[in-house]
A and B are shown apart, each in its own frame.
Chain A
Amino acid sequence: DAKTTQPPSMDCAEGRAANLPCNHSTISGNEYVYWYRQIHSQGPQYIIHGLKNNETNEMASLIITEDRKSSTLILPHATLRDTAVYYCIVRVWGLTGGGNKLTFGTGTQLKVEL
Chain B
Amino acid sequence: GAGVSQSPSNKVTEKGKDVELRCDPISGHTALYWYRQSLGQGLEFLIYFQGNSAPDKSGLPSDRFSAERTGGSVSTLTIQRTQQEDSAVYLCASSPRGIITEAFFGQGTRLTVV
Q: Which of A30-80 contact B (CB under 8 A)?
A: 32, 34, 41-46, 49
A15 in the interface (beta carbon within 8 A) = no
Report how far A104 CA is from B104 CA in the complex, Å.
15
Using CB atoms, name the residue of chain A closest to B49: A100
Stretch in B11-19, B74-82, B94-102 with 4+ CB within 8 Å of A: B94-102
A105 touches B42 (CB 8 A): yes
B42 touches A43 (CB 8 A): no
Q: Is the interface of A mostly helix, strand, loop or mixed?
A: loop
Other CB < 8 Å A-B pairs besides A99-B56, A101-B45, A107-B42, 9 of them?
A43-B106, A43-B107, A44-B43, A87-B42, A98-B100, A100-B33, A100-B45, A100-B56, A103-B45
Q: Which residues of A contact B (CB under 8 A)?
A: 32, 34, 41-46, 49, 87, 91, 93-95, 98-107
